[in-house]
Amino acid sequence: TSLKEKHKILHQLLQNSTSPVDLA
């Protein structure tokens, strides 16, 4: 959990399939 908390955005980008261009 701490790893996920520490790297929230990175974790989210690794897990989701949303286009990174949209997120940028």
Partner 1 sequence: NHQSTMSPEEFISRIMEAEPPEIYLMEDLKKPFTEASMMMSLTNLADKELVLMISWAKKIPGFVELSLADQIHLLKCCWLEILMLGLMWRSVDHPGKLIFSPDFKLSREEGQCVEGIMEIFDMLLAATSRFRELKLQREEYVCLKAMILLNSNLSTSSPQTTEELESRNKLLRLLDSVIDALVWAISKLGLSTQQQTLRLGHLAMLLSHIRHVSNKGMDHLSNMKRKNVVLVYNLLLEMLDANTSSSS
Q: Binding residues for partner 1, per CB under 8 A?
A: 3, 6-11, 13-15, 20-21, 23-24
Q: Residue 17 and residue 6: Cα distance in Å, rounded?
A: 21
Q: How far is the CB of 4 from partner 1 (least distance, A)?
A: 8
Q: How far is the CB of 10 from partner 1 (least distance, A)?
A: 6
Q: How far is the CB of 21 from partner 1 (least distance, A)?
A: 8
CB atoms within 10 A of CB 11: 13
CB 13, CB 23: distance < 8 Å: yes
